[in-house]
Structure formats: C-alpha cells, structure tokens
C-alpha cells in the first residue's frame, strides 16, 4: 500500500507531498489540474523510463520518493529478506533521482539498487492500470502465484519451493562428487600405468642419472634455439640478412658441437640428421 508520495522538481511541480490514508482513495480534478503528473511521478518511482525533459526548468535534478507499507505483502517481504533490506515498522521508502548529467540514483530503503531490481520489486507493490505494461494480471509468471493465493496454498507452495531448492543443491553436490570420483579414477589409472612402465624399464642407477643429464642438456639446447629462431626469421628480408642467418646458424651449430663433445653421453638429433 502506498502511504505517501513526495515529488520534487518534477515537470511543473516544485515540491509536494501527498498522503494516502488507509482504504480507497480517489484523486479528482478538472483537465489540467495535474492528475497525470502525479501518475507520471509514481510511474517513474516504479521504474518507468525517464528523460531530462521531466526535470523542472531551472533545476538540475528531479526526485520522487514514496513510503510503502509492505507488512502484509509476503512476496515483497520475501524479496526484501533475500536482499537483506530492512523495513521500519512494516514500511519502506523507495527513492529515485534523475539528474541532467545523465546520472541518477535508485534506493530501496537505504540500499542503492539497479533500475531492473526496482522494476521487479515494484511489480510486487503496485499496478498502474492506465499503463498496460505494468498490469501484473497480464504477466503469465504471476498467474500461478495468484491462483495459489486464492486457494490458500501459499504456505504449502513455499515449503515445496524450499524442498525443491534443497533437492537441487543436493543434486549439484552429488554431481560434483561423481565428477571428482571420475577424475580420481582417471588419475589413478594414469599413475598406475606410469608405475608399471617404470617397473618394466628396470632402470639401473647409472641409466637414470644418464637420462637426467640428457634431459637437462636438451632443455638448454631448446632454450638456445628459441633465442636464435626470432633473430633468424627477422633477417630473411634482405641479402645481407641471409648472410647473417648463415653466420648465426654456424655459431649455433658450433655451440651444439661443443656441448656434444663435452658430454658424449648426450645424443643430439639435430647434429646427426644434418638439418642444421
């Protein structure tokens, strides 16, 4: 229920506060009295579109705020509790600011909010029947909630929703555990295969040491090669560059030969296949 509407610098309005007592309220007046301005301000407060033209001439910003009583609105209370927004004695202030700079602000209670959140929350509070896009009766996703409320099934539906959420969470954990189990099984098979390969190789101490030396030498050679390749590629554009490539190639090959001679146990494929 809307209890109070405060409008500042909106259209022709300087500053006005309208209170709505409990029960059925009607705003009457002749054409041009300003009824549509009040409805427009309320639409803005509920998340409607707004441009700079709604800001009162001579001012920099417009502000519309409203006090809503939500104590009896279970859907609105659930929405607020989910986002940890507190009410004060069952009432809540919604405020929206529009600035000429293009920046504005939306506040639900004391918490800043996105315009989409304001629009979603406002649908739980108010219907503007003069604006068909705000009529919740035409929103298909609301039909079941209205039917549940009419049948007095809200508590049972709420319990079902909680049970379904718990089931979904349990299913998610089960799938995560099953995935972890498959990963462990795959890793176990891989490690078992590696252990079997090592056992079948029956390596002696000196062979293992030789393998480690060869691995280290290959790493060093690869690092040197990675340093030379970019330089070689950059030299292919000119004749002198090609000559430089030949010199670089010879220098690299010489270093490879020195490395090979220093450790005869190292077998360099690049030297034996004549590709360098």
pLDDT category at 210 given cuts 50, 70, 90 is confident
Residues 6+ apart with CB under 8 A from 34: 12, 13
Distance CA 165, CA 184 (A): 29
Q: How many domains does the structure of the chain reveal? A: 3
**Residue 8 belongs to what H/E stretch?**
strand 2-10
Full domain range(s) for residue 14? 2-150
For residues 18 and 84, membership in a common domain is answered with yes
What pLDDT is attached to residue 49? 82
Query: Of 130 and 193, which is predicted with more confidence?
Result: 193
Strands 2-10 and 91-99, how do they pair?
A: unpaired
**pTM to 2 decimal places:** 0.47
Which among 104, 8, 6, 11 is positioned nearest to 55, based on CA atoms?
11
For residues 52 and 110, membership in a common domain is answered with yes
For residues 180 and 263, membership in a common domain is answered with no
For residues 179 and 217, membership in a common domain is answered with no
94 φ, ψ (degrees, to nearest 5): -115, 135
pLDDT category at 106 given cuts 50, 70, 90 is very high
For residues 141 and 51, membership in a common domain is answered with yes
Positive or negative torsion for Cα 158, 164, 166, 168: negative
For residues 212 and 193, membership in a common domain is answered with no
- Asked if 233 and 264 touch (Cβ cutoff 8 Å), the reply is no
């Amino acid at each position: 229920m809307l209890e109070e509407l405060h409008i500042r610098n909106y259209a022709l309005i300087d500053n006005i506060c309208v209170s709505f007592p409990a029960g059925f309220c009607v705003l009457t007046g002749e054409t041009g009295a300003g009824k549509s301005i009040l409805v427009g301000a309320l639409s803005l407060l509920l998340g409607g579109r707004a441009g700079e033209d709604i800001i009162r001439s001579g001012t920099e910003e417009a502000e519309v705020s409203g006090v809503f009583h939500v104590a009896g609105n279970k859907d609105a209370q659930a929405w607020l509790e989910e986002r940890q927004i507190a009410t004060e004695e069952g009432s809540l202030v919604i405020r929206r600011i529009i600035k000429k700079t293009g920046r504005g602000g939306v506040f639900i209670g004391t918490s800043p909010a996105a315009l989409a959140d304001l629009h979603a929350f406002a649908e739980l509070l108010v219907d503007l029947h003069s604006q068909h896009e705000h009529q919740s009766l035409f929103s298909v996703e609301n039909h079941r909630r209205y039917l549940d409320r009419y049948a007095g099934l809200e508590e049972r539906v709420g319990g079902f929703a909680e049970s379904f959420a718990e089931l979904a969470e349990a299913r998610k954990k089960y799938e995560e555990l099953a995935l972890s189990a498959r990963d462990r099984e795959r890793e176990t098979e891989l490690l078992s295969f590696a252990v079997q390969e090592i056992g079948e190789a029956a390596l002696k101490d000196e062979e293992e040491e030789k393998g480690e030396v060869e691995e280290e030498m290959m790493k060093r050679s690869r690092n040197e090669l990675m340093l030379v390749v970019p330089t070689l590629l950059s030299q292919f554009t000119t004749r002198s560059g090609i000559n430089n490539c030949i010199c670089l190639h010879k220098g690299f090959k010489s270093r490879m030969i020195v490395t090979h001679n220093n450790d005869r146990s190292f077998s360099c494929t690049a030297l034996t296949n004549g590709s360098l």
